[in-house]
Chain A
Amino acid sequence: MTGISAPSDREQQVLDRIERVRKRRAKVKEERITLSHGSGGKATHTLIEAVFLEAFRNPLLEPLEDAATFTVDGGRMALTTDSYVVSPIFFPGGNIGDLAVNGTVNDLAVSGARPLYLTAGFILEEGFPVADLLRIVESMRDAATAADVSIVTGDTKVVQRGKADGCYINTAGVGVIEYPGRLGVATVRPGDVVLVSGPIGDHGITVMLARGELDIEADLESDTAPVHELVATLLAATPGVRAMRDATRGGVATILNEVAQAADVAVVVDEDAVPVGKEVRGASELLGIDPLYVACEGRIVAIVDGAEAETALAAMRGHPLGASAAIIGRVKADPPGLVLLNTVFGGTRICDLLVGDPLPRIC
């Protein structure tokens, strides 16, 4: 065997010590919020666990899935919320309004719910052009129509010039769960396969380039889209779907880490199998960023019973949004809580949560 030696006792002790430290209660060490707390990586998770979960703890919140699911009067429902603060507000492929509708629709969809009603809360900056607001709202209307949802209530606040970066939107969504099976990371087990519905990183790279500071031109668009029909197609095709997640900030790698930790399993990914668009690859190589950590807005990650892998893949590929769907990995028992990557080159590495956003590097 090459490159492998059994760890000495001393080394094993250190590794065990690290595992214990990592399992300890989350604590936010910083005194002030930094941008890392919003990136979806380790800092975000620590903040959620140490601050929000600590304060609000209840059985519906604890699973920390994309939506909360509960029973009312004999029916199961899903409830979710997201806030949208993207900059720039308009980018190739869409705008903040598209994200605001699709993002919340998608969180409901991956919970097995048929999305029904959305709320829309706006925080507008003094001086924001009404024409821009109209564009955003019209996009939201069109996105809602495409997703078969209605925006039924909302709110508007205006803040002083210099705050709210133009426009912030919060949407909450409610849907009815018609899928009879149980969905959620708790059901994930060794032998399951991991599928992704299409090429990753399109949205994140598009927005990064659209900020204009990098001076990079690419023929790229955000992948923002409502995935409720794709999900419905998948769920109708096979009973073997364990869990689904909307791959947004933090990218696919973050979701897989969440799954690995929540279900206490290992997720092994074949780098070769992960679909990445040509330009996303080029921009990522140029900037030194890993597409696995870059946000999508119209892609799902689905964990499916291994025996149903091909059925699930065919179902996804049969839908326009899943045309490039792929099986990218498998769930194993060991080593629990970790995501491993079999590299294109044939080696293996661990794919951990990032602390904050993936940052362009020169080194």
Chain B
Amino acid sequence: MCLGIPGEVIEILADRPDLARVDVSGVKRAINIGLLSEETVEPGDWVLIHVGFALSKIDEAEAKAAMEFLESIGKAYDDEIAALRESEIL
């Protein structure tokens, strides 16, 4: 129920526009993108794959924001640790 993996759309099948070939770390499979009929899906898009269907298109802007938040936390932590170390040296 929960196993969903991000994959990159490589091509939409010409004779079956509800199917797309996706790439997951070099492994390829045709999946059904019929659940994303309200959006445009193009090669280069990333989708969430579950039991052979794309459930959602990955929002690159949100993904970027998520990563930036996590990185900022990481950086703030590193800064604090660095500051802590420096204060110990003095």
Contact = CB atoms under 8 A, between A and B. Distances in A.
Contact of A218 (B7, B26, B51): B26
B5 A285 contact: yes
B64 to A, nearest CB: 22
Contact of B3 (A217, A281, A283, A363): A363
A216 B3 contact: no
A216 B49 contact: no
B55 to A, nearest CB: 12
Tell me which of A215, A219, A278, A285 has the highest count of chain B C-beta atoms within 10 A of its own C-beta: A285
Nearest to A287: B3
B29 interface: yes
Contacts of B50: 362
Interface in B2-29: 2-3, 5, 7, 24-29
A288 interface: yes
B30 interface: yes
A219 B1 CA distance: 28
7 contacts: A215-B30, A216-B29, A219-B26, A282-B24, A282-B27, A286-B7, A362-B1
B3 A361 contact: yes
A279 interface: yes
Nearest to B27: A282
B29 A285 contact: no
Tell me which of B1, B27, B28 has the highest count of chain A C-beta atoms within 10 A of its own C-beta: B27
Interface of B: 1-3, 5, 7, 24-30, 49-51
Contacts of A219: 26
A215 B28 CA distance: 9
Contacts of B3: 288, 361-363
A217 B29 contact: yes
Contacts of B49: 286
A285 B26 CA distance: 12
B24 A285 contact: yes
A363 B2 contact: yes
Interface string A203-243: 00000000000111111000000000000000000000000
A215 B26 CA distance: 14
A286 B1 contact: no
Interface residues of A, number: 17
Return the 5 tightest CB-CB contacts between A and B, nearest first. Answer: A282-B25, A282-B27, A279-B26, A218-B27, A282-B24
Contacts of B51: 362
B25 A281 contact: yes
Contact of A278 (B1, B7, B25): B25
Interface in A25-65: none
B27 A279 contact: yes
Interface string A323-355: 000000000000000000000000000000000
Interface in A175-215: 214-215
Contact of B26 (A214, A278, A361, A363): A278
Contacts of B28: 216-218
A207 B15 CA distance: 30
Interface string A241-273: 000000000000000000000000000000000
Contacts of B1: 362-363
Contact of B25 (A217, A279, A362): A279
Contacts of A279: 25-27
A216 B27 contact: yes
Contact of A286 (B2, B5, B30): B5
B29 A215 contact: yes
Given A217-B28, A279-B26, A282-B25, 13 more contacts: A214-B29, A216-B28, A218-B26, A278-B26, A281-B25, A282-B26, A283-B24, A286-B5, A286-B7, A286-B27, A361-B3, A362-B3, A362-B50
A278 B26 CA distance: 7
B21 to A, nearest CB: 9
